[in-house]
Amino acid sequence: MRAIAGLLLLLAGLGGLAAAPAAIHAVAPAQEPPAHADIVIRDFAFQPDVVHVARGGSVTWTHDDGPSHTVTGADRSFAQTLGPGQTFTLDAGTEDAFIDYYCAIHAYMRGRIVVGDGPPPPAVKVLRVPEDEPDLARALLIAAPETVIDVAAGQYLLDEPLAPAADGVTIRGRGAGPNDVRITPGRSGVTPGVLVDGVNDVSLEQLSLVSFAGNAVEVRAADGFSMRDVEVVAVDGGRRDGVRADVGVLLNDANGVGLLRVRIEDALVAGIDVADCDACAVALRDVALAGNSTGVRIGEGASVVASHVTIEGGDGGTIGVHVTAGPRRPARLEFTDSLVAAGRVGMWLASVRDSRIEGVTLTGHAVYGLGVAGGVVEGLTVRGLQLHGNAVDVGWDGAGTSTCFDLEAATTEATTTEATTEATTTEATTEAGAPAPAGPVATSDPPTLAATASCDAAAPFSPYWPIVTARLLAG
């Protein structure tokens, strides 16, 4: 639920945090806490991860694990590396306090010491880079949940991926726009640039990721990830010889994702790759994709709703929107009020269900403006397309149920001759690398946009899921 709420705020274009989280209040123990506490490091965890000690008390960590670990204060006031059998003791101080710590080698290992009654921390913490923490990667390691990493304008070189270790972390550039905060590899081979792995509600705002090989941003098994006013580019300083990413943003089993005012250029594989997942939902609005081999690639089980998206093929651009899902788990797609231009194929849909394409301009494609083939279609409505300069405007293999192509033009005479079909089949197979429709096609020479199928009124397509996101994007 929290991920959906964050997504609504993101796509509504609201600034700031959705809401301040509740402050953490320590409950005083029923009896005076002990003067000393022991913590064992075992199975990549601090056991227990929260301990109480009296004011003036102490804590001892004992290493009972295989690899080395560190005990590092979140405020960097202490740090100790421990190997098997080694111990470390810390004096907790004489004031009520929370002492948060972590393992610098394995950032997901975290713990807390409550000294005395333990005063509540602030609801939202702002950690400034470079004023409070000179290193951006280290700032992420010590960031507690609901921390805003406020990054001053400038260029930041990474020797390792930016990897938030806590839920609710926001990395926000302090400049007037994305180009004021530029994050680049400090050495070759740093990939991905940003890795969000198993932590939720992480946000990137007002920054640029420049010249990352591999994946610029990779999200794994996380909910509520968002990007706002972010650029992922290969060029640096106006040059076009920078390093090109494989994928601009890779979403792997990520749900409740929202991208708003994001630009991605020159990715070798895909600008945005929504990998196979189980009922994940991704929303795109005001996204610009240029020069990517594929603009948006959508795998099995994914649900994508997109509005006001611009995709330009540029050098090497092949497919604007490519739904690769197979018949076992069709994807869901709502793609509206967008432009796809100058590639090989504007949109290629394999297996989709409960999907809608409306108000989209498909122009200048060497093979198809829109191709629907190679899978199972269970509910697809296409209407209000603007088709210009494509070798073949619309191609469909005739398979599927509840399929409606509502294509209007000055003339309704379909051009579906055997020669036309054979020619476009050969071209599509050779140049697009995808199976070509075997059924009727409507060509743009002469410029006719005749319906390739009649609407099946007996089995109308069901509303797009998730309906909340769809309604939001409609506004």
**pLDDT beneath 70: ranges in the chain:** 1-31, 107-108, 120-124, 187-189, 235-243, 279, 314-317, 407-475
Write the CB contacts of 257 (distance below 8 Å, at least 6 apart in sequence): 7, 219, 224, 225, 226, 251, 280, 281, 282, 283
User: Would you say 165 and 107 are in contact if contact means Cβ atoms under 8 Å apart?
Assistant: yes
- Kindly list the structural domains of the chain, giving each domain's residue range(s) and its CATH number in brackets, ordered by start: 34-115 (2.60.40.420), 126-443 (2.160.20.10)
Query: Which pLDDT score, from 0 to 100, does residue 425 have?
Result: 33
Q: Please choose, from the candidates 37, 38, 34, the residue with its C-alpha nearest in 3D space to the C-alpha of residue 54.
A: 34
Amino acid at 423: A
Q: What does the pLDDT read at residue 447?
A: 26
- Whether a cis peptide bond, with omega within 30° of 0, leads into 460 is no
pTM of the model: 0.65
**Chain-centre distance of CA 344, in angstroms?**
25
CA dist., res. 95 & res. 143, Å (int): 23
CA 50, CA 288: separation in Å to the nearest integer? 46
